[in-house]
Structure 1
Amino acid sequence: MQYEQLGATGVFVSRIALGAMTFGGAGTPPWSVIGGLDEKAADELVGLALDAGVNLIDTADMYAAGESEEILGRVLGSRRQDVVLATKLLARMGTGPNEIGLSRLWVTRALEDSLRRLGTDHIDLYQIHNFDPLTPVEETLAALDDAVRQGKIRYIGASNLAAWQMMKFLGASQLHGWDRFVSQQVYYSLAGRDIEREILPMAADRKLATLAWSPLAGGFLSGKFDRSGTSDDTARRAFADFPPVDRRRTFDIVDVLRVVAARHGVAVARVALAWALARPGITSVIVGAKRPDQLTENLAAVDLELTEEDLAALDAASALPAPYPDWIQVAPADRLPLQS
C-alpha cells in the first residue's frame, strides 16, 4: 500500500480507502441494491482491507439509515486504533424538522449519534456531506470547532462543495480562528472530471486533501457494461443510474480502457482506478465492494503503473472542453517568456 499526507496535517492515509456504503440495509431499497451486506460479510471486507494496508475507512450516518456505522463499529472492535475513521453528516435521519442539515442543534446531535453507532469516543475525520443553504457557515463551523476542542473530532472535512462554497468555509475559519477543513470528498472518475476546472486547483492552493468517491462512476467503468446493455444484472448501475454519466461519451472511454487493460493483462476497473490515482492532487480513492474478490481487484490498482501512452489515450478520450473563462485566460503570445 502507498500512503499520502492528509492535506496540511501530519496524518498519512492509504491511497485506496474502503467505503462502507455497502454495509447494511438488507431488504431496504436502495441500500439492498447498493450492498445490503451483513456483519459477517462486512467483517471479511474490513479484514481484507486492513491486511492490505488500508487505514482510511469512510462511511456516513445516512448509509442504510445508520446501520453502516453500526456494523462498521462492531467489526472494527479492537482494530479501531488501526484506522483513520471517517464519517459524514447532513442528510435527513428522522421525521423531525431539525433532523437534517448543518445547524448547531443537528451537528451536536448527529455527532453524538454517530459516536454511539460507531462505538467510539472520537471520529478522526468528520465531514459535512453537502452544502446547507439555510445554515450560516459560521454556525456550522463554530459547532464543529467546539467538538474538536472537546476531543470528539480530530479533523473536519467537507464533501460535494463547489470551490466558492469551500472558500467561504475556509475564510470563516481563518477569520474566527476556528478549526478548518483539511480535506474534501468529491466525485471524480474518467467519466466525471468536472472537479479539474475549479475544485482541484482550489484544493491545491489551499492544501486540502482530495478524496475521490465513485472512481468507477457507479460501476460504469468496471467493464460490466457495453453498448448492447448490461452484462451483469446484479450490478448497482443496472438499478440506480448514479452518478449521472454521458453514456455515449463514457462508452468511448470504456473502449480505451479495454485496450489499456488488455495491454497490461488486467481488468478494466483496475485501469480506471490507476488512472485516478495517477492524477495530480488526488490523495486517495474510495472504493466499495460487495465481495472479497472485487475488493482484492480494486486494491491491486495501487500497484499498476500506467505508461505515458496509456495516460495520454485515457486523457484524450475523457477530456472536458475548456470552459469560460479558462479558454480566454491562456497567456497571449506577447506575454510568454522569450526563448533563447
Structure 2
Amino acid sequence: MQYRVLGKSGVMVSELCLGTMTFGNTTSEEDSTTMIHDFLDQGGNFLDTADVYVSGRSEEVVGKAISGRRSDVILATKVRFATANNVNHVGLSRKHILDGVEASLRRLKTDYIDLYQMHVWDQITPIEETLRTLDDLVTSGKVRYIGCSNFLAYQIMKSLGISDHNRYARFISNQPQYSLVSRQMDREVLPLCIEENVGIIPWGPIGGGFLSGKYPRGEAPTEGRLSSKAGESSWMLRNSEKNFRILEEVLAVSSEIDQTPVQVALNWLIHKKGITAPIFGARTLEQYHENMGAVGWKLSTDHWNRLDTVSALEDDYPYRFIEKFKREV
C-alpha cells in the first residue's frame, strides 16, 4: 500500500480508502469488522463513513472495530442529510453541525474526527455560518480537518475564498462521484481541486458495480445498486452505448493483463492525476479482497491511455475553444 498527502495538509492517507456505507446492513458486523482489521493490517489507514449510513449504524460498527487502533486510522465521516424527522435536524446550520458532530463522536466512540465532510451543499444556510462552525470545531480539537462532498466547482471555490479571507480552516478534500463511466468532474471540479491543492477521494469508482462486467447489454439487473430505479448508480444512467464501449475496453485490458475488470477500473483511477484515494465499498469478503487486488501494480502507459481515451468527455464548448487558444511556455 502506498501513501499520499491529503490535499493542503500534512496528513498521509493510503491510496485506497475503505468505504463503509453497507456496514451493519447488507454487510454483517462480523464481516465489516474483518474487512476493517484486514485493511489496517495490509497498510490501509483511511476509512470513510457518514452519519446517515444505515441510520448511524455504520459509524457504530466502525467505532467498535477500530477500538484500540484509533491513532492508526484517518477516520472520515459526514454531516448534512436529515438524521431525524425534525425541521432543524438537516442541513449545514451551526445547530445541525454541532448536534451532528456530537452524535457521530458518540457512535464512533472517539473524541475526535480526522476528516469531517459536508455531504452536499446547503442552499439555505449561509456558507459563512457553516465555515465558521467548522473552524470552531477544528480549534476545539473535535475535528482535525474538513472537507466537502458533491459540491459544484463554484461552491468549492467560494468556500475556499471565504476560509482564506477569514483565516478559517479550509477544505483539504473533496469527495465527488468519479469513475471511468462518470467523468463529469473533468470539466471544472478536477482542475479546480488540482489548482487549489484539494485532495480528491472519489466515491463510486466502479460505477456502482457496472465496471465489474457482470451486467450484459439489454439485461437490467435484479439485485445490487444497479437494480435501483433511482440514484446515481441506477441502470437508467449506466445503460448507455458509450458506457458499454468503456466496459468493453476494460474487459479487453483485463484479459490482456490477467487482472479482474474491477481491479483494472480501480487501478486506472488510482493513477489518475489529482486523485488521492478512491473510496471502495464491498458487501462481501470476496468483493473486498478483489478490490484490494487493485494495488501493488500499475497499468502500462498504453493500457491506461486506452481506458482514458475511451472514457473521455466530449470536446464541448467552451472547453474546445479555450484549449484552441491555450498559451504554454
User: Which category describes the TM-score, using the shorter chain as reference length?
Assistant: over 0.9
Match of 2:303, SS state, is helix
Which amino acid letter does the alignment assign opposite residue 223 of structure 1?
G
Label 1:219 to 1:263 Cα distance change in 2 as closer, same or farther (>3 A): same
1:284 corresponds to which of 252, 259, 277: 277
Alpha-carbon RMSD across the aligned residues, in angstroms, is 1.6
2:95 corresponds to which of 100, 105, 109: 105
Gaps of 5+ in 2: none
Which amino acid letter does the alignment assign opposite residue 17 of structure 1?
C
CA drift at 1:24: 2.0
2:163 corresponds to which of 160, 163, 173: 173
* Aligned pairs for 1:145-160 within 5 A: 145-160=135-150
Which amino acid letter does the alignment assign opposite residue 237 of structure 1?
L
Supply the distance in 2 between the matched residues of 1:336 and 1:22 (Cα, whole angstroms). Answer: 46
1:194 pairs with 2:187: no
Deviations 1:45-104 (A, max 9, x none): 111211111100000001011111011111111122211000000000001100000000
> Which residue of structure 2 lines up, in the alignment, with residue 301 of structure 1?
294
> Which residue of structure 2 lines up, in the alignment, with residue 318 of structure 1?
311
Deviations 1:278-318 (A, max 9, x none): 11000000000112221111111122311122122212221
Supply the distance in 2 between the matched residues of 1:72 and 1:304 (Cα, whole angstroms). Answer: 29
Supply the distance in 2 between the matched residues of 1:70 and 1:46 (Cα, whole angstroms). Answer: 13
CA drift at 1:331: 4.1
> Which residue of structure 1 lines up, in the alignment, with residue 13 of structure 2?
13
Label 1:46 to 1:209 Cα distance change in 2 as closer, same or farther (>3 A): same
Match of 1:57, SS state, is strand
Match of 2:125, SS state, is coil
In the alignment, is the contact (CA less than 8 A) between 2:4 and 2:14 conserved in 1?
Answer: yes
> Which residue of structure 2 lines up, in the alignment, with residue 38 of structure 1?
28
> Which residue of structure 1 lines up, in the alignment, with residue 199 of structure 2?
209
In the alignment, is the contact (CA less than 8 A) between 2:27 and 2:284 conserved in 1?
Answer: no
In the alignment, is the contact (CA less than 8 A) between 2:128 and 2:162 conserved in 1?
Answer: yes
In the alignment, is the contact (CA less than 8 A) between 1:188 and 1:213 conserved in 2?
Answer: yes
> Which residue of structure 2 lines up, in the alignment, with residue 265 of structure 1?
258
Gaps of 5+ in 1: 26-35
1:238 pairs with 2:227: yes
Supply the distance in 2 between the matched residues of 1:161 and 1:246 (Cα, whole angstroms). Answer: 25
In the alignment, is the contact (CA less than 8 A) between 1:39 and 1:75 conserved in 2?
Answer: no
Supply the distance in 2 between the matched residues of 1:203 and 1:272 (Cα, whole angstroms). Answer: 22
Runs of 4+ in 1 over 4 A off after TM superposition: none
Label 1:288 to 1:139 Cα distance change in 2 as closer, same or farther (>3 A): same
> Which residue of structure 2 lines up, in the alignment, with residue 32 of structure 1?
none
Q: Which deviates further from its counterpart, 186-195 or 324-333?
A: 324-333
Which amino acid letter does the alignment assign opposite residue 140 of structure 1?
T
Which amino acid letter does the alignment assign opposite residue 130 of structure 1?
V
- State, as a whole percentage, how many aligned pairs show the same letter: 41
Supply the distance in 2 between the matched residues of 1:252 and 1:18 (Cα, whole angstroms). Answer: 28
TM (norm. structure 2) is 0.95
> Which residue of structure 1 lines up, in the alignment, with residue 122 of structure 2?
132
> Which residue of structure 1 lines up, in the alignment, with residue 81 of structure 2?
91
CA drift at 1:252: 1.0
In the alignment, is the contact (CA less than 8 A) between 1:170 and 1:181 conserved in 2?
Answer: yes
Supply the distance in 2 between the matched residues of 1:328 and 1:115 (Cα, whole angstroms). Answer: 49
Which amino acid letter does the alignment assign opposite residue 7 of structure 2?
G
> Which residue of structure 2 lines up, in the alignment, with residue 31 of structure 1?
none
Supply the distance in 2 between the matched residues of 1:325 and 1:233 (Cα, whole angstroms). Answer: 40
TM (norm. structure 1) is 0.92
User: How many residues end up aligned between the 2 structures?
Assistant: 325
